[in-house]
Structure 1
Amino acid sequence: MYIANSRVGNDEGIGKKTCNDTSVIDYLLLSSNLFPVVKEFDIMEFDPLVSDVHCQLHVVIQAPVILYNSNDELSQFCSEKYVKWRKEKCSEFLDNVKSDHDCQLEQLLLELDNLEVQQGIHQNEMNKVVERISNFFQSVATKTFGKYKPFKNRKPKSDNKPWFNKQCFDTRKKFHKARKRYSFIKNADNRKHMKNASKSYKIEISKANELYQRNIGNKLRQTKKSDSKKFWNILNSIGSNKKKGADPEISIEALYDYFKDMNRCDSNTEEPEVNFDVHNLSDELYNLLNGTVTEDEILKSVKNLKNDKASGCDKIMNEYIKCTVYDLMPMYVKLFNLVLDTGIVPELWSLGIMIPIFKNKGSKADPANYRGVTLNSCLGKTFSSIINERLNSFSDEVELISESQAGFRKRFFNYR
């Protein structure tokens, strides 16, 4: 920072006095790159109505204003945020889906019908259909839940003392007031009053802390078996209250290189031997793998979807699928069978948003101390679960996996 007095404006080379016409104690401080934008600077004449001994400083700064177009890539990315699902508005969301005032759903079904009879479907055509499905859900969600509104003017909240309530604040205020009075007038009465206020303050914070710890213990006991998600949220909130040291932050490039190397496929890996001819399957086994996706398979897969899970790049949440599974079943059946028959997977289903989560151990500058969690398309995961169920049934039917391999298999147990 530099002193701008005597360097810019009408005061350049002068250094006019600012206090009692004897000294310069009122300054304009600027960084070096701000000097060119100062258009006017002057020391005004002394005015007793404004100050007792100081002169006013007059400064005019003119800087270029950069206007961002709403079509910019960054603005467009930020505008894609959405509000969270609200369970109480499920029926309203479904009503908006059924109304379909813009005929988006009707056009989607017609487009899926055309692709089913079309020969030689291209990747772009499949991508456009899935993008239109995503846009349809987003328009319905915006109509139901409203647009995304970021929090503004949120005051920083300190969680170091979550037990510090209003009673603690009031008693602390009384203690500071008593201590200040004693610092001005030191007598026996003020000293006694200050000691009593200090004692009351210590008792109050001890009582508030004890009550907070008791409530946390009760909440943990109540939610341990009934609501595991709330249980872990309480535990995580307790851990976040601890003061953390100033660890160096890791760069996005280091995380990218680390996870890229971790997920690199080894081309020299040998494929396992198969004990049967995959090209000469019976009709029953062939239909088990490549048969038409049925409504029962979709319902079974959707039933296993969990709530309150983040969506992928297509912004379609599990709640959207679960809420509309019966009303939009024709669309789901046609889409999944189209992907299965053509073998063309939409690009949005292949893209994921990787979130690095710190393991709370080691240095934050080491990428090995981060766990990569990828957010994939919920609609794509629904289709994948159907294929996974078919593969598991097929492997059990042909005894592809040995009975000794019981890990993560249905109707199998590990004995120790």
Structure 2
Amino acid sequence: MVKCRSEYKKLLRTCRFEYDKQKTSNFENNKLKNARLYWNMLKESAGLKPAEIPLSNFEHYFRAVNNPADRFFVPDDDILEFNSRYRDEEFKVMFQELNVIITEYEIKQAINQLKRNRSAGPDLLLNEFLISGKDVFIPLLCVLFNKIFETGNFPDRWSEGYVIPLHKKGGVNEVENYRGITLLSSLGKLFSSVINTRLKNWAEKYNVYIEAQAFLDQI
């Protein structure tokens, strides 16, 4: 009996070890090959239970948080002032250096900064497509981006996204305990990255941030 019990416990430890080893291997493989299954396994291992909240509740909640027509919505005064000054062409001279054509080099830089293993937005384009096919995509994107930049018509579809609720704290059945992240179009984010990099370099060149910070320090 003692011998059988010892062999039984040894067999349990061996099986448990092999089970954990196999599960760890599947976990690591799915991280690169199946993001949905990877996150499900991660939640399962953390002991997280799925929330029992209807999707309509999330829709109403996030609409209220981001709806300008809602009585609790407060617009950003700085953005309103900037838009007003821009319409009055106060920044026309200052921005002349920014209003130049988008180059293939700028797009290549933006693609090189993309990260792999990120979820796609409504356009279903993964960063891996742009990274692996950049030699083919860059000339076409250069024409497209310059047309958008020239006309000022940013595609509406690039402003649409999938809102994914992430649980942050408290009970899982309360929508207020979730923070929403939005999965946007990969092309829209790439275009925005090109513009953002140009603005950043321009601001650093003219010490815009330093002057603004000095002003804030005096307030």
Whether TM-score is above 0.5 comes out as yes
Counterpart AA for 1:269: D
- 2:217 is aligned to none
- State how many pairs are aligned: 194
List aligned pairs for 1:112-261, cutoff 5 A.
Answer: 199-209=6-16, 237=41, 240-241=44-45, 249-261=52-64
**SS of residue paired to 2:182:** strand
Bigger share in helix = 2
Where does structure 1 lack aligned partners over 5 or more consecutive residues?
1-191, 224-228, 406-416
- 2:161 is aligned to 352
> Residue deviations 1:40-86, cap 9 Å, x none?
xxxxxxxxxxxxxxxxxxxxxxxxxxxxxxxxxxxxxxxxxxxxxxx
Q: Rg larger in 1 or in 2?
A: 1
CA shift in 2, pair 1:238/1:196, >3 Å: farther
Give the C-alpha shift of residue 211 in structure 1. 6.4
1:377 to 185, 195, 201: 185
Give the C-alpha shift of residue 372 in structure 1. 1.8
CA shift in 2, pair 1:264/1:391, >3 Å: farther
1:363 aligns with 2:171: yes
> Residue deviations 1:349-382, cap 9 Å, x none?
11101122334x4222111222322111111111
8 Å CA contact 2:108–2:138 kept in 1: the answer is: no
**SS of residue paired to 2:164:** strand
**Alignment partners' CA distance in 1, 2:121 and 2:188:** 9
List aligned pairs for 1:84-95, cutoff 5 A.
Answer: none
**SS of residue paired to 2:122:** coil
**Alignment partners' CA distance in 1, 2:100 and 2:127:** 25
> Residue deviations 1:206-237, cap 9 Å, x none?
34435667x69x99xxx9xxxxx78xx99984
Which fold has the larger relative contact order, with Cα–Cα distance below 8 Å and residues 6 or more apart in sequence?
2
Where does structure 2 lack aligned partners over 5 or more consecutive residues?
214-219
List aligned pairs for 1:240-389, cutoff 5 A.
Answer: 240-241=44-45, 249-265=52-68, 266=73, 268-271=75-78, 277-281=90-94, 285-287=95-97, 289-359=98-168, 361-389=169-197
**Alignment partners' CA distance in 2, 1:235 and 1:378:** 21
CA shift in 2, pair 1:328/1:270, >3 Å: closer
Counterpart AA for 2:92: H
> Sequence identity of aligned pairs in percent?
29
CA shift in 2, pair 1:370/1:303, >3 Å: same
- 1:181 is aligned to none
Counterpart AA for 2:56: E
CA shift in 2, pair 1:296/1:363, >3 Å: same
Q: CA RMSD in A?
A: 3.7
Give the C-alpha shift of residue 311 in structure 1. 1.8
Query: TM-score, length-normalised on structure 2?
Result: 0.70
